[in-house]
Structure 1
Amino acid sequence: MSGISRMRLMKLLKTILRGHIVGGAITFLIVITAGEVIVELMRMNQLEQQRIEVVNRLAMMRAGLETEINSTLHLTRGLIAYVAINPDLDSNTFDLLSSEITSVGRNIRNIGLARDNIITHLFPLAGNEAALGLEYEKSPQQWPAIKRAIEMGGTTVAGPVSLVQGGEAFIARTPIYTRSGLGGHLADHKPAYWGLASIVIDIPTLFSTAGVATEKDGIQYALRGRDSLGEKGELIFGDRALFEQDSVLQPVILPNGSWQIGARPVGGWQVNKIWYWAMRLTGWLAALLVGILIAALLRARLINKLLALHDHLTGLPNRRLLEDRFENILARNQRKATKVGVFYIDLDGFKGINDQFGHKVGDGLLLEVAKRLQASTRAYDTVARIGGDEFIVLADEIRDSGGFKQMFDHLLSNLRGDVYVEGHRLELRASVGSALYPDDGDDMDKLLKAADQKMYQHKQHGKVYRMDFNR
């Protein structure tokens, strides 16, 4: 080998070696950067999952507290209604009614009536005799809350208050109004203020029954809103600092007021430090993270593509994918003597369900409708959600009017009846409009417009508009 060749070989080896060093350094930097990014994303994801868990736990505690206190208040409605029409009830009747209420209401310590704001009835009377005859207007500790209840004209929850016999309680007070005068229609008489009904709710029993605690499963809780004043009210239990930190806060809805409950993990929002550093070291050392990153990016692109063509709630095709499938069907059906049917479905009263029960129940109803539509159609038909409570069924290979009518009736019947969502019984009803290609239009926009018009006619007049297939 000549000296020139040897020199060229050494130069080439040095170049290759230098390239490996540079490539290794670049790969090392990429791996470190990718690893740091991934670890940080995972850390953020853990914190987000931790927050979601706290939100869910807090929602369960809030719901339990709302349910327990509102069910307790509900027990006294019968007594209040009875007093409203029998303002001169005697003590025996009051004791009988109150005994029945307290036998069911495990959180109720006692029940009282105050005619003209003077306590006239108490149950149980034993141990509470000194309170009989108390004039609320002369009690500076109680009168402000009582006055507020009278002014609001509805039930208010005051407290916590310390009881003479020990313990703490909430006091729910409800103004009672009777109708003045006798005879004639009840609506002809003006309501007259009779007095107050009050129930003393034992706080430890209420919280225990509702599953409320200051710390539970690694999460600390606090409640504020004394006298139902919400976030403006004083602390009821827990650490006051919880409302000054990055905590999850939710309202506890009460009659004519609210409390606010907060939660955060004991020790704050943080991830496991051992896990965190182990992942960082692994990221620095593992060259395979580059491939993992690429796979993650490809997966993200695929998810974005799928999300662009499908409804995020139901997973059904959206309008864009619906139009693509319509064009594919037209291309196939040019060689067949069949037609294409379009059904436009709109849920009746959906806004009212959302307003009354909340979006969670509304979303549950939409999922049930999507499930029913898929079960009511053939495997090669397309069920799509194009927005809100509007669905489209694209039916391929419509051969005769009988089959089209049968499919219409099947869809309509499956969208009627009772549906249970989140423990609520809902009446499912829908309006459906239909259109055929090419009779009602030669593109998707025209077909949707025709079906939409018939759907609204159905909704407004309660009449099902069916298309004549043979026209």
Structure 2
Amino acid sequence: MFFLVVAATTEVIVYLLDSKNQEHERSDVVERVSTLRARLEGELNSTLHLTRGLIAYVATHPDVQEPNFSQLVSEILTQGRNIRNIGLAKNNIITHIFPLAGNESALGLEYENNSTQWPAVKRAMEVKSTVVAGPVNLVQGGTAFIARTPIYTRKGITGLLSEHRPSYWGLASIVIDIPSLFQSAGIAEQMDGLNLALRGKDSLGAQGGMIFGDKTLFSQNPVTQSIVLPNGSWQIAAIPIDGWGSDQTVLWPVRIIGWLMALFIGTLIAALVKARATNLELALQDPLTGLPNRRLLEDRLQLLLEHHKRNKTGFGVLSIDLDGFKAINDTLGHRAGDQLLQIAATRMQSSVRASDTVCRSGGDEFIILVDDVHSRSDLEKAQQQVINKLTGNTLVEKQSIQLKASSGVAYYPEDGDSMDSLLMVSDRKMYKNKNKGKIVDIDSANRV
């Protein structure tokens, strides 16, 4: 009893200390990310601010000539360390660019005929303000961010009153060098000890594509902050490079002292610690195949439902049952059955993508969650790929066995919009196929 009290007290103290450490750890990451966010915003804003004079000049001199343009931009570039070039696109056709050397191929580019760049240009026209696009693959080579600002001139209207209205002239484009911007913002310095990721391509925030880093970082309980851009944002995420709570230097002395006191009660501690570790390991994993178990399956299926409901996209549930598995156990024994389950698990894992999940739901039944499926036809192709990989001859207990399986699929959202309905549909279809009479053939003549 004393052992349990001491052990529990020790773990409570360690837990409280660990929680406190993680609070400090997270606070430190928040501070570093805030610094990085402020630097990025500052660098971008200062860069965009440099072109105000150029935009104002073109608005009042719509027939801007090349010498005047080059003189204005050359002065801007002396102050803009992150700018690769600046261009003007009258009527959405690039007519001016500086420096010209190395950028000749961009002259004459018609944005409306460029499917990659036109959406961001159109968006800038719609909001009548600056939009930061990118990373963009440049016509002249390389990638960069492009900040586009619509330019409006004013034309007089003859009428009862003298009034003016803005008339769309075109765009001013600032091509921002990505490595230079990140270096100026000190990303390399802030990455020391951190894993960073940035998303929000074309200023679309959390809905935009990745700019750099691993997209899975956003699902690892990161510190996230929005980098505010004109008419949009980026989102940055950060976690410690070794994960949260990896620094145990303060906790170990407390833990060791506590366990040394508890050891006086008896050697039971070793068995308890081992049992606890084993239980934690097996809580979400099938011990025989190493696959996720039913509990983890349900967790991942629920996450898929939430994700695809939110994004209005599809995914699939594939139920698989090994045909004639009972015959294997009865004929060759349970050890052979276990070997066959392990072989089946390995084959199924090798037949799916890294983003898919293969689970053993019990006995000889498996469930595969097929993520990002655009149609039922795609799901059925994935189903056939799994079955083709799974079925075939294999050697178990010196017996050649023809492994076969029955399967059924459910496609979200057509076959159901809940965990229970999708599992029920795929299971029903699987048993319907199974009733067609597929079996596992044991060729007793092929002994080794």
TM range (shorter): 0.5 to 0.7
Over 3 Å counting, the alpha-carbon distance change for 1:182 and 1:88 in structure 2 is farther
- Hey, what's the Cα distance between the residues in 1 that align with 2:258 and 2:170? 72
Tell me what 2:46 maps to.
Answer: 71
Percent identity for Structure 1 against Structure 2: 61
SS at match of 1:267: coil
Shift of 1:212: 1.7
Tell me what 1:199 maps to.
Answer: 174
SS at match of 1:98: helix
Residue by residue, what CA displacement relative to the aligned partner does 1:79-131 show, whole Å, maximum 9, x if unpaired?
10111111112111111100000110010011111111111111111222232
Instruction: Please state if 1:50 is matched with 2:25.
Output: yes
- Hey, what's the Cα distance between the residues in 2 that align with 1:260 and 1:223? 6
Over 3 Å counting, the alpha-carbon distance change for 1:178 and 1:62 in structure 2 is same
Match of 2:151 among 171, 176, 182: 176
Shift of 1:270: 1.9
Over 3 Å counting, the alpha-carbon distance change for 1:214 and 1:183 in structure 2 is farther
- Hey, what's the Cα distance between the residues in 1 that align with 2:189 and 2:137? 19
TM-score by length of 1: 0.52
Tell me what 1:101 maps to.
Answer: 76
| Amino acid corresponding to residue 257 of structure 2 in structure 1 | T
- Hey, what's the Cα distance between the residues in 1 that align with 2:226 and 2:162? 37
- Hey, what's the Cα distance between the residues in 1 that align with 2:162 and 2:17? 65
Contact 1:228 1:258 survives alignment (8 Å): yes
Tell me what 2:200 maps to.
Answer: 225
Instruction: Please state if 1:87 is matched with 2:62.
Output: yes
Residue by residue, what CA displacement relative to the aligned partner does 1:303-359 show, whole Å, maximum 9, x if unpaired?
xxxxxxxxxxxxxxxxxxxxxxxxxxxxxxxxxxxxxxxxxxxxxxxxxxxxxxxxx
The within-5 A match list for 1:375-414 is: none
| Amino acid corresponding to residue 43 of structure 1 in structure 2 | D
Instruction: Please state if 1:136 is matched with 2:136.
Output: no
The within-5 A match list for 1:176-325 is: 176-181=151-156, 188-213=163-188, 216-273=191-248, 275-284=250-259
Tell me what 1:113 maps to.
Answer: 88
The within-5 A match list for 1:342-361 is: none
Contact 1:224 1:261 survives alignment (8 Å): yes
Match of 1:38 among 3, 6, 13: 13
Match of 2:132 among 157, 170, 173: 157
Over 3 Å counting, the alpha-carbon distance change for 1:30 and 1:130 in structure 2 is closer
- Hey, what's the Cα distance between the residues in 1 that align with 2:17 and 2:238? 23
Contact 1:214 1:238 survives alignment (8 Å): no
Over 3 Å counting, the alpha-carbon distance change for 1:137 and 1:214 in structure 2 is farther
TM-score by length of 2: 0.55
Shift of 1:213: 3.8
Over 3 Å counting, the alpha-carbon distance change for 1:272 and 1:122 in structure 2 is closer
Contact 1:229 1:257 survives alignment (8 Å): yes
Contact 1:84 1:176 survives alignment (8 Å): yes
Aligned-residue RMSD, C-alpha: 2.6
Contact 2:106 2:139 survives alignment (8 Å): no
- Hey, what's the Cα distance between the residues in 2 that align with 1:60 and 1:271? 23
Tell me what 1:59 maps to.
Answer: 34
| Structure 2 stretches lacking a partner, 5+ long | 263-448
Over 3 Å counting, the alpha-carbon distance change for 1:54 and 1:135 in structure 2 is same
| Amino acid corresponding to residue 131 of structure 1 in structure 2 | A
Contact 1:110 1:199 survives alignment (8 Å): yes
| Structure 1 stretches lacking a partner, 5+ long | 1-24, 288-471
Contact 1:46 1:271 survives alignment (8 Å): no
SS at match of 1:190: strand
Q: How many residues align?
A: 262
SS at match of 2:156: coil
| Amino acid corresponding to residue 91 of structure 2 in structure 1 | D
Which structure's CA Rg is the greater one? 1
- Hey, what's the Cα distance between the residues in 2 that align with 1:274 and 1:251? 33
- Hey, what's the Cα distance between the residues in 2 that align with 1:187 and 1:207? 49
Which stretch of structure 1 is more off in the superposition, 57-66 or 274-283? 274-283
Shift of 1:162: 2.5
Shift of 1:285: 5.3
